[in-house]
Amino acid sequence: MTTNTKVASSIAGASVILTLMGFLSKGIGFFREIIYANNFGLSPEYDLFLASIAIPNVINTSIIYIAQHYFVPSYNRIKKVSETDSVDFFNYIFWWFIIGGLILATLLYISSGLILSSYLGSISSEKQQLGIKIFVMFLITIPLNAGMSIIMAFQHAKFKFAYPAISLILLNVIVIILVVIFSDLLEILILPISFVIAYFTAFIFLIVLVKKDLTFFSKSFFKVKYNVFELRVIITLIIIEISSLSYILIDRYFINEVSVGGIAALNYAMVIFSLPISLFSIPLITTMFSKFSNSPDTLKSDFKSGYGMILFIIIPFMFLFYFWGDLFIYLFYERGKFTPSDTDLTYSVLRYFSLGLIFISVYQLTVKIFYSLNKYFLVLAISISAILIKCILNLWLVKIMQENGLAISTTIAYLFLLVLGISIISVKFDIIDIKHFLLKLLYFLVNALMAYLLTRILLSFNNKNDIYLASSMLISFVFIYILNSLITKNHELELITSSIKNLFNIKKV
């Protein structure tokens, strides 16, 4: 076996392992949501939990993305000059992230009463106090998550992708075990308690991995300097990440305006909505981003291939969730305290969310174009504009349609992001052919619609029970959609199948 083949084989093997671990991690995270549904359903207490953790949860997720987007390229740049300096940089950023997390958590603790009263002002004082307890306990996870995020980014920079995935799997497993054992005893408080224990355990696990590189004091701690551009980029990334995750935070502000269980329904629906994005779109987008950065001369053709594959994968999911979303909710959630009426409420929300799958998936790829061109501030302007639209629509639609109005406003905000993003890269950078994009979108929509109509015709006289019929229709729809793509010799299907063949067909020489 030649050196090149060995390298290719190792990369392919690592890709397979990472893909499997990604599915395992997402699968366990989704199973955690199933456990929540079984133990808490669409209860007012679970609504209270979701509203109470909204701010720390958005902060934690933002920190993870900020660590990835800032630390990895900075670390690699420093490492090219000096291995020692790169380790010092890791220590510097690690401790400052933890210190920053502690400061932020302290400030939020001091203002916890004011913050929670703005969310929970119209409920009983007893419930408000419970919400404050949940909020304060969850604040403990912020500095722990900050440290974990830098260690995970450090591992990614060293091409050790498995350990960060294992740490997240460990975190979710601990939460699941504790919730299953102690939910009857501690009720809703088991959730923040289990997260604190899980974060602490995962933090220790990651600390052990980097103990040889980690020092509790370094001379470089006060010496590392940043130029103005880097500081501006960091601040911009912070605002962008918080903005992109703030839709959930904004929705939970309306806890008193939706149905009982409405916030929980939004959460459960969003978990299902996010599955095809996290399992298929994000890995593809991450791969395309590397190509965008390394091959600027082929940006236009790469972007065309990227959005074509995303449309091919995501559009059938939009149909599946819109027409058969109740089957997914029934199979995943409907047990224990999650009742048939909870399924109906969650499905209603999911149908409105599903219409936005295309918009957010293609926009996420569009954002990578802006990042590859170093247009951070352009992304910031687009993100803030979308938030303003989301807030205005929430105020109007929640009064008319309650939780469904919140879902519709999110979908419209996603549509705005896509239209504005596509327009800018077409007019300002000439990277996309709008006509080609619209024709490709129309092609896949027609393909999916034909598959749906044929499925309805073929199975309209099925005498079996509803679950059997829905399952048969779902499977038939996917089969016909793929068959249509094969018959029409769809380019995106050929790209995906050839990529899979190449991944598993490493020849020995």
For the segment 302-328, the average pLDDT, to the nearest whole number, is 88
Query: What region, left, alpha or beta, does residue 437 occupy, with left being phi > 0 and alpha being psi -120 to 50 degrees?
Result: alpha
Q: How does residue 207 score in pLDDT terms, banded at 50, 70 and 90?
A: very high
- Statement: residue 418 has pLDDT above 50: yes
Cα–Cα distance between 70 and 489 in angstroms, integer? 41
For the segment 134-148, the average pLDDT, to the nearest whole number, is 94
Q: How does residue 293 score in pLDDT terms, banded at 50, 70 and 90?
A: low
pLDDT higher for 244 or 173? 173
Burial 396-409 (b: 16+ CB within 10 A, else e): ebbeebbbbbbbbb
Average pLDDT, the chain: 81
Q: How does residue 282 score in pLDDT terms, banded at 50, 70 and 90?
A: low
CA geometry: angle 60, 62, 66, nearest 5 deg: 120
Report the chain's C-alpha Rg in angstroms.
24
Q: How does residue 449 score in pLDDT terms, banded at 50, 70 and 90?
A: very high
Lowest mean per-residue pLDDT among 82-91, 230-239, 299-308: 230-239
Cα–Cα distance between 132 and 110 in angstroms, integer? 11
Burial class (CB in 10 A: 0-12, 13-18, 19+), 28: middle
pLDDT at 193: 95
What tokens were used for 38? 């079984």
Q: Which of 45-59, 130-144, 217-231 has the highest average model confidence (pLDDT)?
A: 130-144
- Statement: residue 3 has pLDDT above 70: no
pLDDT at 8: 34
Cα–Cα distance between 493 and 296 in angstroms, integer? 25
For tokens 């440290």, name the residue. Answer: 147
The number of angstroms, rounded, from the C-alpha of 322 to the middle of its chain's C-alpha atoms is 20
Please write the tens of the pLDDT for every residue from 174-203.
Answer: 999 999 999 888 888 999 999 999 999 999
Please write the tens of the pLDDT for every residue from 455-504.
Answer: 888 776 554 456 777 778 888 888 988 888 888 877 777 666 665 555 45
Please write the tens of the pLDDT for every residue from 28-47.
Answer: 888 888 888 888 888 888 88
Instruction: Count CB-CB contacts under 10 A for residue 509.
Output: 8
pLDDT at 289: 54
Total-model pTM? 0.77
Cα–Cα distance between 155 and 149 in angstroms, integer? 10
Contact 356, 419 (CB under 8 A): no
Cα–Cα distance between 441 and 456 in angstroms, integer? 23
pLDDT at 317: 94
Cα–Cα distance between 447 and 330 in angstroms, integer? 27
pLDDT at 219: 55
- The pLDDT > 70 percentage for the chain reads 83
Contact 147, 79 (CB under 8 A): no
